[in-house]
C-alpha cells in the first residue's frame, strides 16, 4: 500500500547514522517486498534484528487437504468447530483450523480468548477478518486495535501477536496468501493513490500510531515459512525481545480496514461480484457484501442471477445480517458456502421471485474467489452440512427427499 507513514524517531536521511542519547547506533532494517523493487519501510532497532540463539521445528496444525471430488457445492458450519470449553486453551495463531486451501491461499478459522505467541508468516501476507470480539494486535511496527468487522492486514514477515480482550471470544477468519495483497489495481492511480471511484480511501486505513516495547531475553517467535516445496514451521529464539523499534517510516506496514467503511457500488440492475471487490492477491480476490440499496430498474431481480464459475471457486463467509439469496438452505451466521468451478450456482428456490420489489439488503459477507481449485482442510470435513448440495433439487442421491 503506497501510503507513507512515520512512527517514532527516524534520521533526516535514510541509511545514515541514528544514535541513542548515549551515542550508540540504532540498527537500521529495510523491510521490503519483491527484493528492492516494491513497497518498503525502514525500521530502527535497539538491538541486532538478525541475532538468534536457537532454531527448532514448530509442528504446524494439521495442514492436510482433500480434493473436492466428486465435485459438489458444500455448506460448512464454522461455529461448530470450537465449543466454549476450548476457548481459553486456544490462541489465534496456533489454534487455527484449516478450512480450505490451494497453492495460492489458505483459509482458516479460530475462536479464542487466549493471548497468542509471537508469530510471523514468511510465506505471504495475511488478511484476518474479525467476525466478533476484540483484540490488540502488537506488531514490530506498533499496536493495532481490532474490532468486529475489521480486516487486519499483516504484511509478510511482520512479527506480531494477538491479545484478545473484552466480553466474548475473538472469532477470526484468517486468509493466508502465498503472495502480497493490495487494493485492486483499478482503484489506484499509477502512483498508488486510491481514486475517486474506489469504494474506500486512505482515511479508512488505520495503521499503527504507537510503538510497543517488549521485555525479556531468549524470546521465542513462531515462523511459518517455505521448505522443500511445503509450508512448515520453525521456533526461533531471540536473545532480546524483537519489539525494540524506536521508529520507522515507509509505505509497508500492517493496518486495519473496517468492512463498515466500505461504500457499496450499486446500479439499476444487478452488479457482478467485481463491484464488491476490496483486495486482491496472486490468483485470488476478496470481496465484501455489505448492507446496501439494491437494483432500482422497474423490472430488476435483486438477487444474483445463476452463474457458472468457469475459472474460479467462490467461497462466501456469512458474518452478519440476512443473506437473501441463501434463504431456505440452512445458511446462517458463521456459515461458509463453497461453490466450485465447473458448477452453475445461484439463489435458493423461491429467492429469485421473492426478491422482486426489494429495495434494501441487510447482509454482511466476505467472499474469496480463487482461480485454482480449493481443497478441503480438516476443519471443513469436521463441520460440513452434507445435505446442502441437494437443496436446489429438493431430493438427494437415489431420490431421497431432503
Annotated binding site for Fe cation: 307, 313, 345
Closest CA to 339 of 363, 366, 316: 316
* CA atoms of 279 and 152, how far apart (whole Å): 12
Q: How far apart are CA 147 and CA 162, in angstroms?
A: 12
- Residue 368 — φ and ψ, nearest 5°? -115, 125
- Which ranges constitute the DSSP H helices of 260-396? 351-354, 378-382
What's the distance, Cα to Cα, between the start and end of the chain in Å?
Answer: 48
Residue ranges for the known binding site for homogentisate are 323, 345
Mark 279-308 as b/e (b = at least 16 C-beta within 10 Å). Answer: bbbebbbbbbbbebebbeeeebbbbbeeee
The C-alpha cell that represents 400 in the structure block? 431421497
- Indicate if 270 belongs to the active site: yes
Residues 263 and 165 sit within 8 Å (Cβ to Cβ): no
CA–CA separation, 355 and 349 (whole Å): 11
The CA–CA distances, whole Å, from 90 to 85, 169, 178, 196, 237 equal 10, 10, 25, 42, 22
Q: How far is CA 198 from CA 119, 153, 264, in A?
A: 33, 18, 10
Smallest CA-to-CA distance from 132 within 104, 109, 160, 98 is with 109
| Cell 466474548 -> residue | 168
46: left (phi over 0), alpha (psi -120 to 50) or beta: alpha
Distance, CA of 120 to chain centre: 15
DSSP 119-183: EEESSS-EEEEEEE-EEEEEETTEEEEE-TTEEEEE-TT--EEEEEESSS-EEEEEEEESS--BS
Longest dimension (CA), the chain: 81
Q: Which of 270, 276, 297, 339 is catalytic?
A: 270
Residues catalogued as catalytic: 270
Amino acid at each position: 500500500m503506497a501510503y507513507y507513514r512515520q512512527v517514532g524517531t527516524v534520521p533526516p536521511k535514510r541509511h545514515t547514522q541514528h544514535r541513542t542519547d548515549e551515542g550508540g547506533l540504532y540498527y537500521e532494517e529495510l523491510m521490503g517486498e519483491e527484493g528492492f523493487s516494491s513497497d518498503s519501510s525502514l525500521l530502527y532497532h535497539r538491538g541486532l534484528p538478525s541475532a538468534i540463539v536457537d532454531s527448532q521445528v514448530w509442528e504446524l496444525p494439521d495442514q492436510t487437504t482433500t480434493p473436492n471430488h466428486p465435485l459438489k457445492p458444500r455448506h460448512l458450519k464454522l461455529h461448530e468447530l470450537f465449543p466454549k470449553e476450548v476457548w481459553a486453551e486456544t490462541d489465534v495463531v496456533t489454534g487455527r483450523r484449516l478450512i480450505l486451501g490451494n497453492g495460492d491461499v489458505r483459509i482458516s478459522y479460530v475462536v479464542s480468548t487466549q493471548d497468542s505467541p509471537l508469530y510471523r508468516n514468511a510465506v505471504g501476507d495475511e488478511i484476518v477478518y474479525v467476525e466478533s470480539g476484540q483484540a490488540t494486535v502488537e506488531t514490530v511496527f506498533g499496536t493495532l486495535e481490532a474490532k468486529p468487522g475489521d480486516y487486519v492486514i499483516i504484511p509478510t514477515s511482520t512479527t506480531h501477536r494477538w491479545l484478545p480482550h473484552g466480553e466474548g471470544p475473538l472469532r477470526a477468519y484468517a486468509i493466508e496468501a502465498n503472495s502480497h495483497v493490495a487494493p485492486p489495481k483499478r482503484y489506484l492511480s499509477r502512483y498508488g493513490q486510491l481514486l475517486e471511484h474506489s469504494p474506500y480511501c486512505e482515511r479508512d486505513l488505520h495503521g499503527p500510531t504507537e510503538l510497543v516495547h517488549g521485555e525479556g531475553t531468549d524470546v521465542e517467535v513462531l515462523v511459518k515459512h517455505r521448505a522443500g516445496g511445503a509450508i512448515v514451521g520453525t521456533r526461533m529464539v531471540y536473545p532480546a525481545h524483537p519489539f525494540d523499534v524506536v521508529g520507522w517510516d515507509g509505505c509497508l506496514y500492517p493496518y486495519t480496514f473496517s468492512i463498515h467503511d466500505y461504500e457499496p457500488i450499486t446500479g439499476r440492475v444487478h452488479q457482478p461480484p467485481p463491484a464488491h471487490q476490496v483486495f486482491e492477491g496472486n490468483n485470488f480476490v476478496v470481496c465484501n457484501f455489505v448492507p446496501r440499496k439494491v437494483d432500482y430498474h422497474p423490472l430488476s431481480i435483486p438477487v444474483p442471477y445463476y452463474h457458472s464459475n468457469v475459472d474460479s471457486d467462490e467461497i462466501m463467509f456469512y458474518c452478519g445480517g440476512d443473506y437473501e439469496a441463501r434463504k431456505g438452505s440452512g445458511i446462517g451466521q458463521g456459515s461458509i458456502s463453497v461453490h466450485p468451478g465447473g458448477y452453475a450456482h445461484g439463489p435458493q428456490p423461491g429467492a429469485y421471485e421473492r426478491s422482486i420489489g426489494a429495495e434494501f439488503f441487510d447482509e454482511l459477507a466476505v467472499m474469496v474467489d480463487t482461480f485454482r481449485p480449493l481443497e478441503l482442510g480438516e476443519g471443513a470435513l469436521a463441520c460440513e452440512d452434507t445435505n446442502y448440495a441437494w437443496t436446489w433439487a429438493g431430493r438427494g442421491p437415489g431420490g431421497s427427499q431432503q
